A and B are shown apart, each in its own frame.
Chain A
Amino acid sequence: MIVIGGSSGALDALAAMLPALPPDYPLPLAVVLHVPPTQPSHLVAVLGARSRLTAREPDDKEPIMPGTLYVAPPNYHLLVERGRTFALSIDPPVLFSRPAIDVLFESAADVYGPHLAGVLLSGANEDGARGLEHVRRAGGLTFVESPATAAVPVMPAAALRRIAVDHVAPAADLGRLLAQLAATPRPEDKA
């Protein structure tokens, strides 16, 4: 599974990254973007239009399926449960954010362990750094948008201060790396 997080500037980063992934991409993706908690959100339409994947907001208890780009709904935390289903919660914001990137990343790392890649994009706060550290400690791969090319470097820089990540690259290159990731699975990989 691939989990992605970002805030300001991350929508453009995703627009540069997602076209690299084919419609039959064999891994599920879940993304948390910090957006104002308005209803309804336009993120699904926007991301659906900019990628070849099916984008949707998951419901509580929804099974996680490959080739789908799951978008955290506004005003809810998105979590991964042990049976590889999604869960939602309205627990208080984490680092002023709901949905919070840390919450998705940490719960996904608990379930997927080494079969997980975490991607942190442009953003103006430090949400996600802890989560990415958790991904790494659970044996997953870590990707960070290069602070030099990110629209807002605070979020990627916070992660780089915290851990040694596997790949630091501009958004379009991250897309290509994710595409290759699925093409050459690690031997035991069934993420």
Chain B
Amino acid sequence: MTALSDADDAALTALLEGVYHRYHYDFRGYAEASLRRRIAAALGHLRCPSLDDLRARVLAEPRCFGELLRFLTVQVSDLFRDPSYYRSIRECVVPYLRTYPSLKVWVAGCATGEEAYSLAIVFAEEGLLERTLIYATDIHPESLRTAEAGVYDLDRFARFSESYRLAGGHGSLSDFYTASSSSAILDRRLKQAILFSDHSLATDVAFAEVELVSCRNVLIYFDRPLQNRALGVLRDSVRRKGFLGLGAKETLRFSSHAEAFGELVPEDRIYQRR
């Protein structure tokens, strides 16, 4: 993989502008350092000698854009990634949520679905799943299809089971899936509670009024202005006294929305709307 040089700035801008106007995916406000690495990787993979060449191909061939999209977005997720986050949701957020007769949750940037299913498992164990609707959204169509299917490689489940336990799981993770030879198929009652759909934090507006928004490891891919935009969308979607959970290294501290929330569990980046 070759690094992009500063001289490529204009070509990079032209590529992202072209993609936005042709395909309506807006990557113009993404954090630069990691975006440049991913674009450099795409150049290698697609055997493009230059950014201008990549732009010409991507604009001419939708298939090629599909390939590029795989590099531009990072489809990495785990069940119960950062177990302490889910433990805090269970211990500090669920007690409030119990007081509502019906619940809506929004998982923004759900990738292949693991975060949404992890929350569904917590809600099931806490007896809340029957009255809960989870919206899970992303911009990556392929990932949304994987998420909807709820089928994952079985060899990841030893690690997931350990995380589930650390997250304070009441039983065994195997209560929630059926194993076949090489895959684990998540339970229908989890799937029935989740609605997967397309939504971009970069271009779309607020979604619905929900009691909890979980948006983990998505904001790290945005620059500051785009983070502020996205956080505005999230803020407008959380009802008063509702909750917002971010990734382990994400914070409202450097954003323009810090005032709108109080810190509920600072170590796990769980906030409560004022």
Q: How far is the CB of A125 from chain B (nearest CB, A)?
A: 17
Q: How far is the CA of A81 from the CA of B223 in the complex (A)?
A: 9
Stretch with Cβ within 8 A of B (4 or more), from A6-14, A84-92, A164-172: A84-92
Chain B residues positioned under 8 Å from A58 (CB to CB): 249
Q: How far is the CB of A111 from chain B (nearest CB, A)?
A: 8
Among A59, A63, A80, A103, point to the contact of B249 (Cβ < 8 A): A59
Stretch with Cβ within 8 A of B (4 or more), from A17-25, A71-79, A115-123: A71-79
Chain B residues positioned under 8 Å from A87 (CB to CB): 31, 33-34, 220
Interface size, B (range): 20 to 34
Convert B89-133 into 0s and 1s, putting 1 for each residue whose CB lies closer than 8 angstroms to a CB of A.
000000000000000000000000000000000000000000000
Stretch with Cβ within 8 A of A (4 or more), from B47-55, B61-69, B174-182, B250-258: B250-258
Q: Which of B214-255 contact A (CB under 8 A)?
A: 217, 219-221, 223-224, 227, 247-251, 253-254
**Cβ-defined contact, A89 with B220, below 8 A:** yes
**Cβ-defined contact, A82 with B32, below 8 A:** yes
**Cβ-defined contact, A77 with B34, below 8 A:** yes
Chain A residues positioned under 8 Å from B224 (CB to CB): 61, 83
Convert B28-51 into 0s and 1s, putting 1 for each residue whose CB lies closer than 8 angstroms to a CB of A.
000111101110000000000000
Interface size, A (range): 20 to 34
**Cβ-defined contact, A91 with B227, below 8 A:** no
Q: How far is the CA of A87 from the CA of B83 in the complex (A)?
A: 23
B204 lies within 8 A of chain A by Cβ: no
Chain A residue with the shortest CB-CB distance to B250 = A60
B183 lies within 8 A of chain A by Cβ: no
Chain A residues positioned under 8 Å from B219 (CB to CB): 60
Q: How far is the CA of A77 from the CA of B6 in the complex (A)?
A: 21
Given A89-B74, A134-B3: A81 and B250 interface contact (C-beta under 8 Å): no
**Cβ-defined contact, B33 with A61, below 8 A:** no
**Cβ-defined contact, A90 with B76, below 8 A:** yes
Q: How far is the CA of A47 from the CA of B63 in the complex (A)?
A: 48
B82 lies within 8 A of chain A by Cβ: yes
Q: How far is the CB of B196 from chain A (nearest CB, A)?
A: 21
**Cβ-defined contact, A61 with B37, below 8 A:** no
A126 lies within 8 A of chain B by Cβ: no
Q: Which of B1-41 contact A (CB under 8 A)?
A: 3, 6, 31-34, 36-38
B84 lies within 8 A of chain A by Cβ: yes
Q: How far is the CA of A73 from the CA of B82 in the complex (A)?
A: 12
A173 lies within 8 A of chain B by Cβ: no
**Cβ-defined contact, A62 with B84, below 8 A:** no
Q: How far is the CA of A21 from the CA of B38 in the complex (A)?
A: 36
Given A61-B224, A76-B249: A90 and B217 interface contact (C-beta under 8 Å): yes
Chain A residue with the shortest CB-CB distance to B5 = A110
Given A60-B219, A81-B33: A91 and B38 interface contact (C-beta under 8 Å): yes
**Cβ-defined contact, B34 with A89, below 8 A:** yes
Chain A residue with the shortest CB-CB distance to B221 = A89
Q: How far is the CA of A76 from the CA of B248 in the complex (A)?
A: 10
Given A81-B31, A81-B32, A87-B34: A60 and B3 interface contact (C-beta under 8 Å): no
A-B pairs with beta carbons under 8 Å apart, 7 shown:
A40-B84, A60-B251, A60-B254, A80-B33, A89-B31, A91-B34, A110-B6
| 4 tightest A-B CB contacts, nearest first | A79-B33, A89-B34, A107-B33, A61-B254
